[in-house]
Structure 1
């Protein structure tokens, strides 16, 4: 790739170097906290400066995605939930790449089509090619600044060094074996040129970050006329309506039988002999959720790849799909009630509340899919993506750990049972709950020991600016105020 660097390009490279230093400092040397938010602020400040005056596309969705990125990044500073800590390490970079590709992409690109994913992947490879081209540019500039004669001499010197290395290796080993004093001198040579390996690692990390940002943004800054969009023609194949209707009739028959059983026993409040509600709730919960996902996949596949959408056969398929979606709703309701009973019997955890919320999300998805069955103009992929983005972002900010802690306290007031170890492990919000509980009920079994362990950990924990977190700091301050003797 032949490149030409203007003054602004060199300035941008210098700013990317500064961003690379910040990224290395923010991500690699401590637990994430406020550092992630600071990095995102710096990254987008540089991005919008570089792309000032650029005609962005898809701005409404772009602002939604950007808002989600900022909120998810701020969650590292505001909250302390391990599951989101890990998931956001993947979600935020993916959303950043998607966002930049979305608002700088070609006009004719539909972000809900597979072609757009191919476009993103191609752009990532283009950024690597851009950096390789920049490396060749640097080499040509260095060669022009060096006289040809000096270059030839340097080349010959390097060849001589290369030839000498194996010879010196053999000679040095022979001389070391022959004289102990010579061996002592030679073995101390590395100490003369000692180099900290950590510094080398940090330099490499900074360069990787720098050229990742530089190449990716430079490629997207190119004129859209230079972007070769990948167009995928409408599918010419699909499922025969008779095949789809046959599959639907068989599935609907099984689900109607299952729904009948649910209304006869489960929803009516009459279980078979030998079953308690907690045991019944534990059995088959994840299987029901998985069946719902299978049904959703089948419905979307049938709607996307049906050959003909006309006549009485299409009406029959619409009815069959409607029965499938409604049956899936009943299955989800059954799974939802099972989880509620399981929580009442065994307590509340973040995973169980997340599963609860996911089932509500699936019900919304199924409701929209049912509309799609009868209103063909609706777009499933657009709605699914936006709904999933909003759902995941809301999960990060509603404070699920606070909900779990409050529900467990309510359960303790009603039953006298509470899982102290889980609340202490869950998050710093759980630790705050234990501190409040200790002030009211200091004699809860295992509570003081759990708080003592956290107290000892807080005293020895090394604090870094990158890891600063409001919830964690508040829990530490309250913990230090306790008298645990």
Structure 2
């Protein structure tokens, strides 16, 4: 075995041991940042001297990974907590693959998805092949009969373990003295805690194997996927496209006329309550906007432009469709705002606002793309999505929700105490702030007493350190409930 590979195995096992110490039996917090740092130290050490490619998208991915990891340490948002369990490892894998390829990768094409799938299959196959290495080593260095005998002994041990375990339990139940003798064994072989130790050992071995195989396969030179364009791409006739766009724009023009009555008159008050208006049609408008965006992108990608005149007509109709979509998006945002004024702010409603902002940015760039064909839609969509999601992770959304609800309480004296209590540590901090201003609010004192008791019970390890939860514990400790 090469010295470099031997050192890599040793380092991967060390990182696996540290991963077990940092992550197992601990809530994610500071430990995520530390483990990501450990991994990248190992990664860049192994890639020392190797020319890294795709640096621009690599830097963007690196910052996104940093923001996602820091979210576990800075804030406590259960939605992003769960999403990042999948997205964060995925971004790390994509980042490492992109910057270690020998050639520049067309990462904004559908071919890259297939390439990543192929790479993942190769990674798993390589990891499985490493499991067979000890067998090959023993088989090559031992005589056939000796190797066969050793294999039978190992097989016999695996067969006997469950038999000895269950038989021992029966004997312990039958004789108390035998049970006491077994309990005094130095290794306590029949203690159920041994299962926990085996699980920890398995975790270390799996992490070490995955890290080793991943870094090894990254060091290889892979053939890039094919970027040849297909000759049989579907092309739409201009007359068909114009007919469809005129029909859609006519329908949306009528809808827009009705919406402007709501924007600039009192028609809403005489017909519907604000809550009814806000509840009706929000998701439908979002879906229609997404359908329109899909139609615009499909026409841009598949339109067969035969003449400048037809090209200008289609571009004008597409621009009008994007404008109508913007009006529908604004209408959906207005409905959501009215609903929040009536029922308060929640994580789902704040995320819906953020999603609409992202759609607005996407529509704006798509409008520009209609008239400037040289721009890349897929590249902008991927970059804007990364920036958007990274921004969600670096902003304390829970604190924003709490502040919005407290401001609403100052105006309407309406507040959902139960929701603030459940949202996170930021919700508890908001309740403490409210208690200092209005200690006589019904239910507030009882909620804070409950939070104070829970904080005293739950002790947090340093691996799970989280700044917001730390602020919550300190605030509850200093709080004097009258």
* Same-fold status (TM-score > 0.5): yes
Matched, 1:142 2:142: no
Partner of 2:477: 480
1:256 deviates by: 1.2
Aligned partners of 2:54 and 2:104 also within 8 Å: no
Counterpart Cα distance in 2 of 1:310 and 1:181: 90
Counterpart for residue 204 of structure 2 = 206
Report if the CA contact (8 A) 2:43-2:215 is conserved. Answer: yes
| 1:320 alignment partner, one of 317, 322, 345 | 317
Q: Deviations over 1:91-110 (max 9, x none)?
A: 11111111111112242530
- Is structure 2 residue 287 aligned with structure 1 residue 287? no
**Unaligned ranges ≥5, structure 2:** none
Task: Give runs of aligned pairs for residues 360-399 of structure 1, distance below 5 A.
Answer: 360-399=357-396
Cα distance in 2 for partners of 1:265, 1:152 equals 84
Aligned residues: 469
* Distance change in 2, residues 1:296/1:267 (3 Å): farther
Q: Deviations over 1:413-471 (max 9, x none)?
A: 22222222211211211211111111111011211111111111111113222221111
**Selected match of 2:464 from 441, 463, 467:** 467
TM-score, structure 2 normalization = 0.90
- Structure 2 counterpart of 1:254, from 242, 251, 270: 251
Structure 2 residue aligned with 1:94? 90
Match of 1:133 in 2: 129
Distance 1:125 1:209 in 2: 17
Conserved in 1, the CA contact under 8 Å of 2:76 and 2:424? yes
Deviation at 1:152, TM superposition (A): 4.4
Q: How far apart, CA to CA, are the structure 1 residues paired with 2:12 and 2:32?
A: 17
Name whichever of 286-295 and 15-24 sits farther off: 15-24
Partner of 2:11: 15
Task: Show CA shifts across 1:82-139 (max 9, x none).
Answer: 1111111111111111111111224253001111111111111111222233233332
> TM-score normalised to the size of structure 1?
0.89
Offset from partner CA, 1:255-280 (integer Å, 9 cap, x none): 11111111123443432634122321
Q: Does 1:107 align with 2:103?
A: yes
Alignment-derived partner of residue 308 in structure 2: 311
**Cα distance between partner residues in 1 of 2:77 and 2:152:** 60
CA contact (8 A) 1:282 1:342 kept: yes
Could you say what secondary structure the match of 1:273 adopts? Answer: helix
Aligned 8 A contact 2:54 2:105 in 1:
no
Cα separation, 1, equivalents of 2:153 and 2:466? 55
Structure 1: unaligned runs, 5 residues or longer: none
1:184 CA drift (Å)? 6.1
What residue in structure 2 maps to residue 83 of structure 1?
Answer: 79
Over aligned residues, Cα RMSD in angstroms? 2.9
1:64 equivalenced with 2:23 (yes/no): no
Q: CA 1:294/1:181 → structure 2, altered by over 3 Å: closer, same or farther?
A: closer
The 3-state SS of whatever aligns with 2:132 is: helix
Contact 1:115–1:232 (CA under 8 A) maintained in structure 2: no
Q: How far does residue 361 in structure 1 lie from its aligned partner after superposition?
A: 1.5
1:371-399 deviation line (CA, Å, top 9, x unaligned): 11111110011111111111111111122
Query: Residues 103 and 224 of structure 2 are in contact (CA less than 8 Å); yes or no, is this contact kept in structure 1?
Result: no
| Structure 2 match to 1:340 | 337
3-state SS in 1 of match to 2:26:
coil
Change over 3 Å in CA distance of 1:267–1:65 after alignment to 2: farther
User: Are the structure 2 counterparts of residues 182 and 462 from structure 1 closer, same or farther at C-alpha, using a change threshold of 3 Å?
Assistant: closer
Cα distance in 2 for residues equivalent to 1:321 and 1:310: 16
**How far apart are 1:21 and its partner, in Å?**
2.4
Distance 2:223 2:318 in 1: 41
Matched residues in 2 for 1:217 and 1:65: separation? 18
